[in-house]
Every structure is written in C-alpha cells, then in structure tokens.
Structure 1
Amino acid sequence: MTITQDPTAPLVAVVGATGAQGGSVIKALAESNKPYRIRGFTRDSTKPASQQLVAQGVEMHTISLVLANLKSVFDAFAGANMVFLVTNFWEHLDAERETAEAKMMIDAAKAAGVDRIVWSGLPDYSKLSGGKYTHVVHFDGKAAVAEYGRRSGVPFVDVQAGYYASNLLSPGRTPIKGRTDGAFAIRVPVSPTTSLPVFDAERDYGLYVRHVLEAPVLPDGAEVRTGEYLTMAEMALQISQATGKRVVVEQIPMEQYEKEAAAKGLPPHVVLDMSDGYNSVSEFGYYGGKTSPSVEGLARTPISFSEFAKTADWTKVLV
C-alpha cells in the first residue's frame, strides 16, 4: 500500500529517514496494508535519497536534531501519533551528546502526545558484564536512553539492532583482509566460535519496528532483539559458499587489534569501546545470553545471512 496523506491516518515521525534503520522503517510501513502518513527527518532534503522518499509520499522535514535547536525539535514532532527514534554515535563519537539528544527527542515526542515510541537501542554492557566491561559507551549510552524512555510515561519499546551484515562489505569497516595464500580472513580479536546476531539492517530492521507499531497491545517497556545467531566460523563458511572464495576466521591478539584500530585514526576512548565490546561479546554474549526473538508475527521472514551473502556485492572486499 502506498503512503497516504489522508488526515485520518496515523502520522509516524521517523528519525534518520535516509539512513539504514529509518529507511528500513519507512519501507516496512509503506508495504503494510494499513495506511500511514509518514514524516521523515533529514538534515539535507535535497539529496537524492530524500527526494526519492518525497516521491513516495513521505513528508520530509529538514532539521538537525541537536540541543541548540530545541524549540524546532519540539515543533518537528507536533501532530505525530507514533515515532521512531535513532541516533548515530559514529557521526561525532560523543556518547554524552548522543544521550542528551535522544532524551530531548523523547521529551519532544511526549510533548506532542504520541501514542507509541520505538527506540533503536542496544544492550547495556556495563550491566551485562557485571561491571567488568564499562567502556562500551556506544552501547551503554543507548541503554541509558531506553531507561529514560521507559520512565517517560509514554508507551515505549526498545528495538535493538544486531550486527550489520553490511559492515562486512564496507572497505573502511570490514574485518575481512586478503592473505598471501590466496584466502581471505575475517580478522577479529575473538574466537571463531563467538556468535553474533547478524542481520541485513537495510532490508529487515523495519520489519521489527512495524510489528511493534502495529501490535494491538504495545509491549510497553519491552526489548525486541534482532538478528540470526551465527558463529564467526559459520559466517565465514557461508561467505565461502556464496562466493567460491576461501574465507576463514583469524583470531588476532587484542593488543594487535587495538594497535591497528588506533592506526586507523580512532581516538583512544573509541578503541577502548571496541575492545571492551569484543571482550564482552566473547565472554557474555551480544545480548548477554538473551536469545534473539522469533520471527513469529513479522510481515515476512527476515533475510538469512546465507541469502544476504549470495546477493551481496563482495567485489570491493574479496580482492
């Protein structure tokens, strides 16, 4: 069903409309048999991705969701019935800023009188590790926002993202490197038996958000976890099967990982964030031992990693 401008249809405000998660949410709502008006937020309404959404019937609202624009942020949420909120730590690497801006958006949504808030959160690794790993600020900050949202008095659900399969395809981010023997290695500071809940965020994250927004009774305060649990070795095998290339997992010492991360220009607090994150996942699990949710109730079955590997373009990575 196409997006509507019918004033009787619920208005869903979507932050990060041109990004992976926000774009996936809009796509999932556009595929629903229920009518929605959609207001997408972007900092640049002239870019092609934004114009494509306008052509689909999305009301694109140009705004920078920062504390300095407090009044404009509150105005931007006015009239919304439901909201999807997301932040991007990697734009500025400042967890305190990320948390403050997210809380501002929750306040703005509450002031607008929305019925439901869906937040793109992550687990709290300080808590899940019993205080052992306390530097994973890009996870813990989002968890702090979820606690704030649950106290807001507005029905609130935290839809947590698993590991992006697309990370493996990005030349600047992928841990996949060529070896002298002609094989390719996923070089990570964890064991090949370490599991991650991997998923195609661009295609499938919105399925979970849509399911929450359309639930007859919102599971207020709930966490929804996404992804298909696979070990690193299983991921390597499925890439091999899809591409015909030999892909293996190569566990590197944490000290070496930290040195290489610093050499890429990551500041010390982010290097520590990443190393603590790997350690916590290895020892306590990505979701702290909690399982990923079943796909029951979703509009369709999410894409498996095997399917992702078969359709992905690996030419910039496996070279």
Structure 2
Amino acid sequence: MTIAQARSAPLVAIVGATGTQGGSVIKALLESDKPYRIRGFTRDVSKAAAEALKKQGVEMVAVNLVVENNEGVAKAFAGADYVFLVTNFWEHMDTTRESSEGKMLIDAAKAAGVKGIIWSGLQSPKNISEGKITRVVHFDGKASVSEYGRVSGVPFVVVQAGIYASSLLEPAIARSMLEKQPDGTYVLPWAVRPSTIVPLIDMANDYGLYVRAVLERPVFPDGLDVYTSSENVTAEEMARQLSEGTGKKVTFKQITPEEFIKPLETLGFPPVATDSLQGFWEYFDEFGYYGGQVTGLEGLARPTRTFAEFVKGSDWSEVFV
C-alpha cells in the first residue's frame, strides 16, 4: 500500500531504515492494510537505498546515532508515535559503545513522548547460564539495553532476531560455516549437536512481520519478549535442505567452539569477536539460542519463508566454489 500522509496515521520512526532489520520492518508495514507514516533514519540519505525508500513515501532523515549527537538524535524522534530501535555490534565490536548508544536511543524516544518502543535485543547468556558463560558480549550488550528499556517508563517490547539465514551467503562467514572437502562435497561444521534446534530467519523477508504484529495489537504489549524465526529446523536438517536446494552434497559435522573460530582467526577477526563467538556456541549448545524460549509464528500477517524456500531462492555461486 502507499504510505499514509494524514496526521491521523501513526508515525513510526525506524532506525537503520536502509539496513536489513529496519528495511524488513518498512517492508512489513508497507504490506499492511493499516495506514502508517514512516520516518527512516540513515547516515546518508543520498544513497540508492534511501532514495528508493523516499520514492515509496518514507520520510528519510540523515542522523548520526552516536552519544556525542544525543541532541540531534532527540530532535530526529520528535513527533513519533512508535519507534523501532536497533544497534550493530559488528560494525565496531565495542560492547560499551553499543550499550551506550542503545540507551541513548531509548532516552531520545522517551523525551519525544512516544507511545511505545520496539527494540531489537537478544538474550543474556550470562544470566541464563547463571554466570557460567560470561563472554558472549554481542548478546549481553543488547541484553543490558533491554534491561534499561524495561524500566524506562515507556511501553517497551523486545523483538529478538533469530539466526540470519543470509549469513550462509556471505563468503567470509560461509568459509567458517561451509567447509569444502577434498572429494568436492561440503560439511556444515557447527559447534552444536545435530538435533539442536536452530531458529533460522530470512531477516529481510520476515523479521518485520513480528514488529508489525506488535504494532497492530489492540494494545501495545508492554514488557513483551518476542522470539523470531522463519522456521525452526535442526542443525542436521539444515545440511540436508542445503543439499536438496543447491544440488551440492552437504553433511552436518559437530565440532568444538574452538574449532569453529580457527578459520575466523585466520581471516583476521579480532579477539573480541572470536572470544564472543566461542562463548556463543558454548551457550547455544547447552542452553539453546533463546535460552529455552520458543518462537511463535502465530499472529503474523502472512506465512514466513521456510529454509528450503530460502535456499532455492538464493544465489550460492560465491559460496559453493
């Protein structure tokens, strides 16, 4: 549908509008039969992705979402009814910075008088493991922002992101996830058991559906945690579906967390990243990605994309080489 311009339509401000998560939220709202005004934030409104959103009716705002620009961030949220907030740890790999920026976004939204905040957070392995696993900083940093948001006084919902199916398509990451064998076959070497449930999500296509479902509830559900996936499959089933969808022979192989990060160290990933990822696999294998919480696909506006559909609809030419 065309984005509404009438002031009676709720204004949703979306951080990372040209990124995967923010873009998915915009996609889902555009599909809705309900009217929305949409304001998208990005650092460069002249890039092609921002221009494309403008043509669809999105109000694009250039803003640098850093603590040093907290006044500018507060102004950018002015007039918004609801906000979607996300931070990118992997852009800088600094947990302190991510936590500070996430809290700044919440403060700015609160100052703007929004009716509800939706935050892309994650579980805390440290809390779930009762202090046993303490180094998964790319999860715990987001969890600290969630804790801050829950006591902000503004209705607050956490929509947690599952494992990106698209990560398998990124050549640098795929080298640690799909390993070519001398006979030309491939193994999927993950540091979990074959029966481990993996909450895979086609982020661009499906994540926004969960955010839309929150916004379209009769009452904004303060305090809710939403656990997203397009489909829950076992690690072993992932390998089988990759084989069927690509025509390449792929088998699952359980490895240790230490073995998983070795290729990343070779590629030059910094210690903060490899250490966090090693801790992540230890957590994932013992406690589950969502710490035992179950994703729910009910209440979404349309069916999500299965992993088999994702595999068949993707270009794997740069991965299986």
Bin of the TM-score, shorter chain as denominator length: over 0.9
Alignment-mate amino acid for residue 129 of structure 1: S
Listed as ranges, the matches of 1:16-165 within 5 Å are 16-165=16-165
| 2:239 aligned with 1:236 | yes
Q: What is the match of residue 274 of structure 2?
A: 271
Q: Work out the number of aligned pairs and report it.
A: 318
What do residues 91-139 of structure 1 show as CA deviations (whole Å, max 9, x unaligned)? 0000110010010010000111101100001111101112111111111
Q: What is the match of residue 200 of structure 1?
A: 202
What do residues 254-297 of structure 1 show as CA deviations (whole Å, max 9, x unaligned)? 3333332222212212211000100100011001111112x221
Three-state SS of the structure 2 residue aligned to 1:60 is: strand
Instruction: Report the alpha carbon displacement of residue 188 of structure 1 after superposing the two structures with TM.
Output: 2.1
Q: Distance in 2 between matches of 1:145 and 1:230?
A: 29
Alignment-mate amino acid for residue 307 of structure 1: E
Q: Could you tell me which of 273, 295, 300 is aligned with 1:292?
A: 295
Q: Please tell me whether the aligned partners of residues 156 and 222 of structure 2 are also in contact (alpha carbons under 8 angstroms).
A: yes
Q: Distance in 1 between matches of 2:319 and 2:137?
A: 29
Three-state SS of the structure 1 residue aligned to 2:200 is: strand
Instruction: State the Cα RMSD in Å.
Output: 1.1
Q: What is the match of residue 316 of structure 1?
A: 318
Alignment-mate amino acid for residue 226 of structure 2: V
Q: What is the match of residue 256 of structure 2?
A: 253
253-262 or 234-243, which deviates more:
253-262
TM-score (norm 2): 0.97
Three-state SS of the structure 2 residue aligned to 1:215 is: coil
What do residues 231-270 of structure 1 show as CA deviations (whole Å, max 9, x unaligned)? 1110010111112211112233333333322222122122
Q: Please tell me whether the aligned partners of residues 165 and 201 of structure 1 are also in contact (alpha carbons under 8 angstroms).
A: yes
Q: Please tell me whether the aligned partners of residues 200 and 233 of structure 2 are also in contact (alpha carbons under 8 angstroms).
A: yes
Q: What is the match of residue 190 of structure 1?
A: 192
% of aligned pairs identical? 56
Three-state SS of the structure 2 residue aligned to 1:173 is: helix
Alignment-mate amino acid for residue 268 of structure 2: G
Q: Distance in 2 between matches of 1:14 and 1:107?
A: 15
Q: Please tell me whether the aligned partners of residues 199 and 232 of structure 2 are also in contact (alpha carbons under 8 angstroms).
A: yes
Q: Please tell me whether the aligned partners of residues 176 and 184 of structure 1 are also in contact (alpha carbons under 8 angstroms).
A: yes
Q: Please tell me whether the aligned partners of residues 88 and 98 of structure 1 are also in contact (alpha carbons under 8 angstroms).
A: yes
Alignment-mate amino acid for residue 106 of structure 1: I
Q: What is the match of residue 283 of structure 1?
A: 286
Q: Please tell me whether the aligned partners of residues 177 and 317 of structure 1 are also in contact (alpha carbons under 8 angstroms).
A: no
Three-state SS of the structure 1 residue aligned to 2:12 is: strand
Q: Distance in 2 between matches of 1:193 and 1:167?
A: 20
306-315 or 279-288, which deviates more:
306-315
Flag structure 2 segments of 5+ consecutive residues without an equivalent: none
Q: Distance in 2 between matches of 1:257 and 1:237?
A: 20
Q: What is the match of residue 228 of structure 2?
A: 226
Q: Distance in 1 between matches of 2:15 and 2:89?
A: 14
Flag structure 1 segments of 5+ consecutive residues without an equivalent: none
Q: Please tell me whether the aligned partners of residues 191 and 285 of structure 2 are also in contact (alpha carbons under 8 angstroms).
A: no
Three-state SS of the structure 2 residue aligned to 1:172 is: helix
Q: Distance in 2 between matches of 1:190 and 1:205?
A: 24
Instruction: Report the alpha carbon displacement of residue 193 of structure 1 after superposing the two structures with TM.
Output: 2.4
Alignment-mate amino acid for residue 264 of structure 2: A
Instruction: Report the alpha carbon displacement of residue 156 of structure 1 after superposing the two structures with TM.
Output: 0.6
Q: Distance in 2 between matches of 1:110 and 1:241?
A: 49
TM-score (norm 1): 0.97
Q: Distance in 1 between matches of 2:45 and 2:221?
A: 34
Q: Please tell me whether the aligned partners of residues 2 and 31 of structure 1 are also in contact (alpha carbons under 8 angstroms).
A: no
